[in-house]
Structure 1
C-alpha cells in the first residue's frame, strides 16, 4: 500500500470514527452492527483506495459503504422489507457511486449523535463500572488496551467487560432514543467522566513522538468539543461548566509543559516551574469565566474544585507566586467529595509546600502501601518533599523509584535532571 494512502485512511478513521459510529448506531438501533459495518468499510478503503485513488470526501465514502453493509446484513436477516417501509431508512439507501458526497456530512457534522450515543451507554441497565469505558470505545474509538491503562485493569479484562456491555444493550433491547430530561441527571456523571477520561488520556501523550502525537492532539480536540457540547446540553449543570473550565485551564498550558534540552531532547516542566508567558491567557480568562458561572449555580462538585485549583495556579501569571495555602484548602474540600489517590497526593504536596515538608510527608506516608508502591506520582511527590526537607539521599532514592515506574521519556528526562542535581547536593546538610 502506498504510505500516503494508508495515512489518509488512518487519519480519516481517527477523525470520523466517533461521528460515523454514532450516526449509524442511532439510525439502525444496533451498536455492534454499526461498529462491524464501519470496520468493514475501513477494510474496503484500505483495499480500494490505493488503486482507485482517495475519494474527494473520504468520510462520506466510508459512511456509504458502511450503510451498504448494514443493508446487506438486514437482507440476510429477512427484515429488509420492514426497513424499506421506514421513510428514515429509505432515505439512507446507498447510491451507485460510493464516493459521492453525503449532504448531511457537508451541512452537519452530527455532534449531537455522539452525545446521544454516550447517553445510551450511560443507560441505567448497563453496569456503572463499564459505562465510561463503553463511551470511550464506541464514541471516541479508543481500543481496549488504552482504556484498560486508564482504569488500571488488564486489556483482556477490559475487552471482556466491553463485549458483555454491548451484549447487554442487544439483549435488553435498550432503545437508541434521547432520554427524558428527568433521566439526564443520573446519566450526566458517566458522560462527564468519559469526556474527562478521554482528555486525560490525550493529555498524557500530547507532544509525544510519531503518530501518537497526532492521535493525542485529535483526541484532546474532540474531548474539548464534547465538553462544550455537554455545557450546551446541560446549561444549568455546574459540574459540566466546571469540567469545561478544568480542561481549558489544562489546555492553556499545553505549549509550556515541555522544553528542548541543550542535548536536543524534550524534557517535562512541572507546573510551578513553567514559563507563564507561554500560557494561553485568553483560554485562562475563558476558564475563569466558566468557573464563575458554575459558582452562581450553587452546586459544588469535584470538577469545579479541580478547576479552582488550576485557577489558583494560574494566579502566578499575575502575582508571581503560587497560593499554596489556598490550594491546600481547596484539596481538603475535594477530598471530602472525591478522595481519589491523585487528590490525596496533590493535597500532600500543597500542604507540605505551604506548611513545611514534614506536614506533607506525614500525609503521603499515611497512604496505603498497596496503592502507592507502584504509583510513580507518589514517589515523585515524596522526592519533592524530601528535597524540601533537605534529606538528599532519601529524595534521590524516591526519584529513582519514580523513574523506574515512568514510561514517558520526557518525564524521565526531567526526573533524571532532578536526580543529578540532588546527587550534587552536599550530604552534610542538616535536615529542615
Structure 2
C-alpha cells in the first residue's frame, strides 16, 4: 500500500495539471462505501493538499473540489444502500467483514441524523453510514441536506492543514518561523493528545486536566507572545495572500457572528431558553462559562494592551490580545458541544466538540483574514475559552454528572439560536464591510 501511495503522489507531483481531478476523486473514494475503508484517503488528501497549497490551486478551489467529491461519494453510497437494501451484505468484502456494516447500522439506529454529522469524522464509519442510511430508507431530501452540511465541515477539516503546509513551504517566511511553529504545534499536539486519551479512557480527571492544560498553555502564551513574532508575521502573510473582494463579504459575515453584540444576544437567548425549559444546571453552566470568559478576556486585553496588525485602512482602537471574537465564539460553541455530548461515550463527546469547534474556528480565522488579529491572539482566545469551559464543567460535575438534554429541548434550542446568529450577523453587513476594508 505504501508503494502505491508513493507512486500516486510522485505521478501527481510530475503532472500537476491533474491535481484538481485527483482531489475530487480521492475525496469521492474516501467517502465511498467499502472503498473508503480500504484506501488510505486521509493520507492522500493531506498530500494533495500540500501540492495544491504549493501554488497549483487556490484554497477555495481545493475546498470546492474536495466538497464536491465527498458529496458525490455520499450520494453513490446512499444509492447503493437504497438499491440493494439488506442484499448488500452479500458483497464479497462485506461478507468477509460483516462488522463494518453492523457497527455502522448500530450507530445509525442509535443516533439517527446526528450520526451522519458526527460519524463523518470517525474513519471506519464515514464511508459506511451513507450506505446504511439508504439501506434503512432514510428520505433522500433529509439525507442530502445533512450530507451537504457534513461534507462542508469535513472538507475544511481534512484539506486546510495540507494546503496551509504547502503554502507555507512556498512563501518566503521570516527567519525563525519554522522553529516557532514547531514549538507551538508540538505543544498543542501533546496537550490535545493527552486530553483525548484521558477522555477516551473515561478518566474522572479528564476535565480538570483539560482545564489545567489549556490554562497552562495560555499562561505560556501570555508570557511568550513577544517571542512569536516570526510565526505571527509569517501566518499573517500566508492568510493575507488569499484575500480578494469576492471572499471579503463572506468573511465579514462570518466575523459578525463573533461580534460582542451578536454573542451577547446569542448567549442571553441560550441561557434564557435553558431556564425556560427548566434545564437549571445546563443554564448555570452556560451562563457561568460565557460570563467568566468575557470578563477574563476583557481583563487580559487591557492588561497586555497589544496593538493590532496594521492592515485596515482605519485600524480599530481596542487592543487585540487575546481575541475577544475567538474567546467568545469558542466559549459559546464549546458550551453547545459539551451539552450535546452529555451522557454519551468518550469518542462521541469528542466528536461533538470537534463539530462545535468548526464554526468557532471559522470566526477566529476570519479575524486573521481581515487583518484585525494576530494568529497568537486567536490562539490565546481559544485556550482561554477551552480552559474556562473545562474548569466550569469539572466544577459542575463534582456533585453529580451533567445529564443529557432531551431531543425536544434541542429542537427548540438550536433553530432559535442559529436564527438569531444569522439575523444579527446580516443586519449591519454593509457598515461592517466598510469597517473592515483594507
Indicate whether the TM-score tops 0.5: no
Query: What TM-score do the two structures reach when normalised by structure 2?
Result: 0.30
Return the index of the structure with the highest Cα Rg.
1
Query: What TM-score do the two structures reach when normalised by structure 1?
Result: 0.30
Question: Hey, which of these two has a bigger chunk of helix by percent?
Answer: 2
